[in-house]
Amino acid sequence: MRRHAVLLTVLFALFVTLVSVSYVFWQFYQLNYTRYVTNIFAKHSVITQLFHEYQQNQSSTAIFDANLAIYNLSAIPEKKAQQILKIGKILTQESRNVRRNDDLAENTNMMYQGSSRVKTVMLQYQNAIYFYIRTNMGSIMVIDSTLKPYKPWSLISSYVSITSIIIISFMLILQRLRPLIRLFQRIALFGAGNLNVSFKVKGKDEIAVIANELETARLKINSMLSARTLFLRNIMHELKTPIAKGTIATQMLESQKQRDRFTSIFGRLETLVNDFAMIEEVTSLTSRKEFSEYRIVDIIDGAIDMSMVEPEHIEVDIKSSAKLVANYRLYTTAIKNMIDNAMKYSPDKHINIVIVDAELCFESKGARLKYPLNFYIEPFTKESSSQNSFGLGLYLVDSILKAHKQVLAYEYDNGINRFIFARDTNKES
């Protein structure tokens, strides 16, 4: 959802705008329709007056039809009128009492007292407008040949024009945002390890300026990474030669004490160079192409072989079916470093490897760490200068775990140090 926040915001704005415009035009339609029907229905007073005069004066039908014709009205036969009443659409209706003496012509000598109940209905049927009047003395339906049902064509054309303009405007906005979407995809590829993806965009707008600046930054990053890799590989290559020569020359020393001392020194230097090589490999890992699914027990067996520790010092309580997607060489090195760490600091030289809550745990007896774990995973750190450590072991483990979207965690429980290869919840989210 967050990855498409801008696009969703634009689409939401388009939706709200269209709904708002549609609502406004619907209100206009309702208002115009109501006014149209109300204005037409006002004619029913004339029709009612004519019908009352016809009923009360008992004039001839020809005279009544002539009076209707003056107002472009014509009577509908009773049978057809009943049919229209059944299937016609009622637009509006009114029921009221009319005093009979008010309905007589001024020159009429006869006065009727009391009142008459009049019901007037306005209907629409087959593109025509009808009026149905019913009183105590009878009923009639007339059609007005000059009236047509309400047709909101002008309102519809205005609505279509405005909504079309709005949709086209938003489409232009989305068109302008397309380079931003492509830029996001390229940034995602760059973050996934494709360092050769190009951010370059033609144009001079804000998105093009940002993209071209990212391209410049990418070129600088690639240049620095290449220089760093070349430097580290060259320096490690140059260091291995004198270390190898020193190891050979050490064997020519006459003093056993001196031979042991120099052998230890050159051995530690070789270990340091190998650790540097491994760190360089981890930090330059840009994709998960070399990751495959392995059984965890197979990875642990490989780590035990690398550590050259007697099997009786290691107890593994893990189901053979448990699997892990990992870079075999790197993950084996991480486990090997944890085994070496336990062999170095545990008084009984014993380590238990188990899985707790789907996380790999390394348990060994020993004193609680004096400092927080973050202190020990920094490179070249150790608790005291007397310890035989370069301080790269846990740093390398932490770097390998980060490449596997995991973190190194630590617990101390009843004399047991527990190091955990825990899930990195930040990367999972």
For the chain, the domains span: 2-37+153-184, 42-104+111-144, 192-287, 289-428
**Second CATH level (architecture) for the domain 192-287:** Orthogonal Bundle (1.10)
Distance between CA atoms of 85 and 119, rounded to whole angstroms? 13
pLDDT of residue 66: 78
Q: Is the pLDDT of residue 20 over 90?
A: yes
| DSSP state letter for 136 | T
Q: What is the pTM of this model?
A: 0.50
For residue 410, is pLDDT > 90?
Answer: yes
Q: Check whether 154 has a pLDDT greater than 80.
A: yes
pLDDT tens per residue, range 197-247: 888 888 777 888 888 888 888 888 888 877 777 777 777 777 777 878 888
Position 420 scores a pLDDT of 94
Cα angle for residues 109, 112, 118 (degrees, 5° grid): 130
Query: 89 pairs with which residues across the strands?
Result: 124
User: Rounded to whole angstroms, how far apart are CA atoms 30 and 41?
Assistant: 16
Q: How does residue 427 score in pLDDT terms, banded at 50, 70 and 90?
A: low
- The residues near 267 (Cβ < 8 Å, ≥ 6 apart) are 247
**Angle subtended at Cα 171 by Cα 165 and Cα 173, rounded to the nearest 5 degrees:** 105
Average pLDDT over residues 155-181: 86
Asked if the domains 192-287 and 289-428 are classified in one and the same CATH topology, the answer is no
Q: Considering only residues 184 and 326, tell me which one the structure prediction assigns the higher pLDDT.
A: 326
pLDDT digits (tens, 9 = 90+) for 236-284: 777 777 878 888 888 887 788 888 888 878 777 777 777 777 777 776 6
Q: Does the 289-428 domain belong in CATH 3.30.565.10?
A: yes
Greater confidence (314 vs 286) lies with 314
pLDDT of residue 117: 75
Q: Is the pLDDT score of 31 beyond 80?
A: yes
